[in-house]
Structure 1
Amino acid sequence: MNIDYSVLKKYPLCDRCFGRLYGKLIRSSNFDRGHALKLAKAIELEEDLRTALEKMNETPENSEVNPTDLEKLEEIKELMYALHKTGTSGIKLDLIDDIEKYETKFKNEAEYEKNEECDELCPWCKGIFEPENIEKVAENVVEALSEYEFDSFLVGTKLPKRFKELENEIETPFMESIRQEFGRELGKVVVPLIKRRVDKENPDIVVMVNPYNQKVTLQVNPVFIKGRYKKLVRGIPQSHWDCRSCRGKGCEKCNFTGKQYMTSVEEIIAEPFMDVMKGSSEALHGAGREDIDVRMLGHGRPFVIEIKEPKIRKVNLEELASKVNESGNVEIINVEYGVKKDVHFFKNEPHKKTYLAHVECEEKVSNEEVAELVKKLEDLTIDQRTPDRVSHRRADLVRVRKVYKAWPHMIDDYNFELKIFCDGGLYIKELINSDEGRTTPSVSELLNKKCICKFLDVLDVHDYEDAENI
């Protein structure tokens, strides 16, 4: 293959950086590869120069030198000077004196001086591979990590924009990025100091370094803890709501708390974990959500609590669960460490659910009517347009859901309970009241009586195997 040495005329790359342009070829260090390629080229140039001079010396004294030969001499001279500037030793620049008598004109002659000292830093690496720089960056990495508990880490290198642009300009198909090489060289120093394992797939912490200014930033990956929660009382939302009046800033209406509601399932669960794990923030991810006036009972709702940028990663989960349960409002069970994909599963996979609705009718309703209602609800497909009460925050579309089974319990002539096993995402209040016809069929429509859902509880959010046993 042809090695492109012309890049050295514009950028005096050091041996390491020139070797990196061909880093995917032959097993060798970038420094050794670059040094060997330059040395081989220097030998070739000297041979070509001597041959060209011999040819010129054979030219009769009164004859003009062939312009092609002059162009070749110009090219040889420029590349010899370029190699010299990159620190390649042994180049015999005095040989070029022998062609001065031919009054050859060189386009870039003014840029070079034979006796020039090669003390400029390489424009690509700028000396970042010097041991003192790597040791200083390693020291900064160790200091940045000192406040965190972790088992695994990964070091990444961040390049300033101008060096990215340079890489793009001089890139070859065989180039290794300077990011890769610096990360590798830094790792040789950092790993023995930190004494943690390197994990390229799922590290606890990603360390990003800028080798040019020695700055270190950390990407501390979150801890995911999963379980199931029960909401034992009404009047508590699942997640924190900012005050509608001040949007979280604090005002008289919210008693300067910034909250629409004093607490939430999210806050009750998160508080003990945040106190111990010292995270920067948190997020609760649930398998759906219940309304503020609905309890979550039974085996509870699957959830994942995400603790962001934790300084402590290993905690006693049962002990923290007990602290949550002391609230009397929320209870969590089956607590264990999770992974990021659990969030996707809980939030996006469908979960069938069982509800208990207290139905109140405007007119008297008989046992026979309720029994007939239950028969009609079995395996019934429901077309449900986005309820009016949530249309301001949900897309206006028609969802198709199914009621699989229902069980009745009469309370009096106007009230009965309805246990409903159905698809997740079915709005039960609207299934009962019809939402002005936006849900069809509905309990009101099937009974031909105006009905409302007076109280509602979620009895279970089913795993697939649970649903089969209803």
Structure 2
Amino acid sequence: MEIINYEILKKYPLCDRCFGRLYAKLLHATNIERGRALKLYKALELEAKIKKAKEEGIDYKEELELLKVLVRSGFNKIRLKEVLDENIEKENCPWCRNIFDKQKIDRLLNKTIELLKDYDFDTFLIGTHIPNEIKELEKEIETEFMESIKQEFGREFGKLLAVKLNKMPNKEYPDIVVHINPYTEEIYLQVNPLFIKGRYRKLVRGIPQTRWPCRKCRGKGCEVCNYTGKKYPISVEEIVAKPFLEATKGTDAKFHGAGREDIDVRMLGDGRPFVLEIKEPKIRKIDLNKIAEEVNKDGRVEILNLEFGKREDKVLIKNTPHKKTYRALVECSEKINEEELKLLEKELENRTIYQKTPKRVLHRRADLVRIRKVYKVKVNKVDDNHFEMIIYCDGGLYIKELISGDDGRTNPSVSSILNKQCICKELDVLKVHDDENNEKININNIEGGNNGRNE
């Protein structure tokens, strides 16, 4: 079986680099070295055949034509002066079209460096774009050992840029992707987000986790929202993101939380895990502790345990289920006694809860039955009509409806067990449990009481 196809050179006068690229997965060498060696070998073979044919007086037209093909594709015709005396000119390679020319490469390097000068980054990646006609050519001449020209250009240009900038290429997590079309010399930057992960505590009621667009104008601004575009004036996202955007000079920020609490619910304890995604940052080296101090001065939100993250963290944080411990202040329509509260603790321990989507969120959530579990409940009587519950349960359980019953849509509920109408007057998240498998849960050690009620 013939592995090397020299016939392709009759239709396409490929330069040494491009001919060598057809067999890039064979022999550890550069494409130029490989292509030059293959042409040299063929030229030796053809010259030997031509000389022998001359001696024997037989036809060597086919060998001579292929020798001319080699010259048109860049082989040095001076080396063939004994057998080829025609004036044959080298033709332009239709595959690379001189995109590896030193002057062009230098021009692209200078343009890229100029675009990058305003950005703080450590790693980069070259994204090479090639015209459709080059893609079609590659399909036509493809071999099982071929490397795409975009792969070679990206690799070789990346090496040169790394030396110029003293930066490292990174295929998995580049800070910046330099997109280049070496044929048209178009260049643009893809500045990848900066991810910061940590935990937040929401110390006051009345603010949502993320920016809540006005339902009337959908964020455009109208009389209803006082032309702010927002239903609520501030959010945890905005309080946290503002100093990070200022420090990084990013264009925007996106807040990803491990679930979310209602607007009137506080997030206490050691906080809820979150990832802050900063879009197109110009500065990446920032002092996380200093920014945390600035956020915490606000008094409404605290952030802690900050560290730099990766893109996978935002997916992980949203897709990982977390059990939670809540503190709820319950108001009962009738007087309650200690015996009933002890019964409530017993009835809810390790109890499976069937919960239809609450009526209050039906406008934005699918109407289905969620099955969740309550693992442990601790109850403390406050007065004849109020008691405090510490509830350790699955994430995704609606606590307000666990208490009220939501007109029978949650079963069982505190109201159904006590046979009295109960409502949640105050609710706080005391803990978001990261790893229950390695964490021994004891809700007696999770404080409610004043820790839950003082604002």
Look up the equivalent residue of 2:385 and give its one-letter code. Y
Deviations, residues 429-460 of structure 1 (Å, cap 9, x unaligned): 11112222221111111112222222211111
Hey, what's the Cα distance between the residues in 1 that align with 2:34 and 2:317? 52
Aligned to 2:396: 425
Hey, what's the Cα distance between the residues in 2 that align with 1:420 and 1:403? 7
Deviations, residues 39-92 of structure 1 (Å, cap 9, x unaligned): 33234345555667788x67xxxxxxxxxx9xx95x556534433321323387
Alignment of 1:13-32 (within 5 A): 13-32=14-33
Which 10-residue stretch deviates more, 209-218 or 285-294? 209-218
Q: Give the superposition deviation at 1:393.
A: 2.8
Look up the equivalent residue of 1:117 and give its one-letter code. E
Which 10-residue stretch deviates more, 23-32 or 224-233? 23-32
Alignment of 1:288-367 (within 5 A): 288-367=259-338
Look up the equivalent residue of 1:426 and give its one-letter code. L
Q: Contact 1:140 / 1:214 at 8 angstroms: preserved in 2? A: no
Paired residues in the alignment total: 439
Q: Which of these two proteins has the greater Rg computed from alpha carbons? A: 1
Instruction: Please state if 1:9 is matched with 2:10.
Output: yes
Hey, what's the Cα distance between the residues in 2 that align with 1:34 and 1:186? 20
Look up the equivalent residue of 1:279 and give its one-letter code. G
Q: Secondary structure at the match of 1:292?
A: coil
Look up the equivalent residue of 1:219 and give its one-letter code. Q
Instruction: Please state if 1:35 is matched with 2:36.
Output: yes
Q: Contact 1:384 / 1:400 at 8 angstroms: preserved in 2? A: yes
Aligned to 2:226: 255
Stretches of structure 1 that go unaligned for 5 or more consecutive residues are: 59-68, 98-113
Deviations, residues 317-364 of structure 1 (Å, cap 9, x unaligned): 121112111222111122222233332332221222111112222333
Look up the equivalent residue of 2:73 and give its one-letter code. T
Match of 1:246 among 217, 231, 239: 217
Aligned to 1:117: 89
Aligned to 2:448: none
Deviations, residues 279-325 of structure 1 (Å, cap 9, x unaligned): 12211111110011111112211111111221111111121112111
Hey, what's the Cα distance between the residues in 1 that align with 2:440 and 2:279? 33
Aligned to 1:86: 73
Hey, what's the Cα distance between the residues in 2 that align with 1:206 and 1:411? 59
Q: Contact 1:140 / 1:215 at 8 angstroms: preserved in 2? A: no
Which 10-residue stretch deviates more, 158-167 or 308-317? 158-167
Stretches of structure 2 that go unaligned for 5 or more consecutive residues are: 444-455
Q: Contact 2:268 / 2:428 at 8 angstroms: preserved in 1? A: yes
Match of 2:370 among 399, 410, 415: 399
Look up the equivalent residue of 1:87 and give its one-letter code. G
Q: Give the superposition deviation at 1:270.
A: 0.4
Instruction: Please state if 1:145 is matched with 2:116.
Output: yes
Hey, what's the Cα distance between the residues in 2 that align with 1:353 and 1:95? 86
Aligned to 1:384: 355
Hey, what's the Cα distance between the residues in 2 that align with 1:345 and 1:32? 46
Hey, what's the Cα distance between the residues in 1 that align with 2:345 and 2:329? 14
Hey, what's the Cα distance between the residues in 1 that align with 2:319 and 2:179? 32
Deviations, residues 371-407 of structure 1 (Å, cap 9, x unaligned): 2111111111112222232233333332221111112
Q: Secondary structure at the match of 1:417?
A: strand
Indicate how the Cα distance of structure 1 residues 208 and 53 shifts in structure 2: closer, same or farther if over 3 A, else same.
same
Normalised TM-score (structure 2): 0.89
Q: Contact 1:135 / 1:189 at 8 angstroms: preserved in 2? A: no
Look up the equivalent residue of 1:79 and give its one-letter code. L
Q: Contact 2:208 / 2:263 at 8 angstroms: preserved in 1? A: yes
Which 10-residue stretch deviates more, 263-272 or 427-436? 427-436
Aligned to 2:414: 443
Which 10-residue stretch deviates more, 411-420 or 305-314? 411-420
Q: Give the superposition deviation at 1:127.
A: 0.5
Q: Contact 1:128 / 1:134 at 8 angstroms: preserved in 2? A: yes
Coordinate RMSD, CA, aligned: 2.5
Aligned to 1:468: 441
Look up the equivalent residue of 2:117 and give its one-letter code. S
Aligned to 1:64: none
Match of 1:280 among 239, 251, 258: 251
Hey, what's the Cα distance between the residues in 2 that align with 1:186 and 1:390? 53
Q: Secondary structure at the match of 1:455?
A: strand
Q: Give the superposition deviation at 1:172.
A: 1.0
Which 10-residue stretch deviates more, 193-202 or 123-132? 193-202
Identity score, percent: 58
Hey, what's the Cα distance between the residues in 2 that align with 1:469 and 1:371? 18
Match of 1:177 among 123, 132, 148: 148
Q: Give the superposition deviation at 1:416.
A: 1.9
Q: Secondary structure at the match of 1:328?
A: coil
Match of 2:344 among 373, 379, 399: 373
Q: Which runs of 4+ in 1 moved over 6 A?
A: 50-55, 91-97
Hey, what's the Cα distance between the residues in 2 that align with 1:303 and 1:40? 62
Normalised TM-score (structure 1): 0.86
Aligned to 1:201: 172
Look up the equivalent residue of 1:468 and give its one-letter code. I
Aligned to 1:223: 194
Hey, what's the Cα distance between the residues in 2 that align with 1:31 and 1:422? 65
Deviations, residues 85-131 of structure 1 (Å, cap 9, x unaligned): 2132338799899xxxxxxxxxxxxxxxx75533x421111101111
